[in-house]
Amino acid sequence: MEATMIAPAKIADVMGGKKVLHNPIRSLFELEKAVEEGLPKGALKNVADFVSTSKNRYQFIYRVVPEGTYKRRQTHLSLEESERTERLARVIATALHVWDTSEKAKNFLILPHPFFKNRPPIEVAFTELGARQVEELLWGIFYGLPS
């Protein structure tokens, strides 16, 4: 099954929308441009806030940006950090679409899943190939396909 992609505006919403990104995101072109220019640090904070608690928020953030770099970084993430942030936001946006509620989406993402050898899907999504697997599973659930 080939995975469908969630609307760019929904991905932007997970990162904080226009308030954080400073521009509306309505297309893949606009999303790509924002990533290439470097997403604001606030985008990563919003992604982390969705899937973490106050206790492990920075542990999550430091998996995307090393701690020392994050503390020195003034406003924007690098291209690589922005790509990682967008990838995680895309997975979260897809989970929100599939599960309809933040609580159900978060539980799916943070709880161990047998499909991923009891790893939480959000952990799997830190790599591009892992994110694709999580998205594929989510779309399978959405369309009622066996997983």
Write the single-letter amino acid at 69: T
Report DSSP state, residue 140.
H
Query: Where exactly are the structural domains of the chain?
Result: 8-142
Alpha-carbon span 120 to 133, nearest angstrom: 12
Q: Token pair 């899937």 is at which residue?
A: 51
Distance of CA 5 to the CA centre of its chain: 13
Q: Could you give the C-alpha distances from 52 to 1, 2, 44, 122, 123, in angstroms and in order?
A: 30, 29, 12, 10, 11
Band (47; pLDDT cuts 50, 70, 90): very high
Cβ contacts of 12 within 8 Å, gap of 6 or more: 18, 21, 24, 25, 31, 34, 89
Per residue in 93-130, pLDDT (tens digit) is 999 999 999 999 999 999 999 999 999 999 999 999 99
The residue count of the chain comes to 147
- Are the C-beta atoms of residues 69 and 112 closer than 8 Å to each other? no
Q: Token pair 């953030």 is at which residue?
A: 61
Which of these, 89, 33, 102, lies nearest to 60 by C-alpha position? 89
Per residue in 18-33, pLDDT (tens digit) is 999 999 999 999 999 9
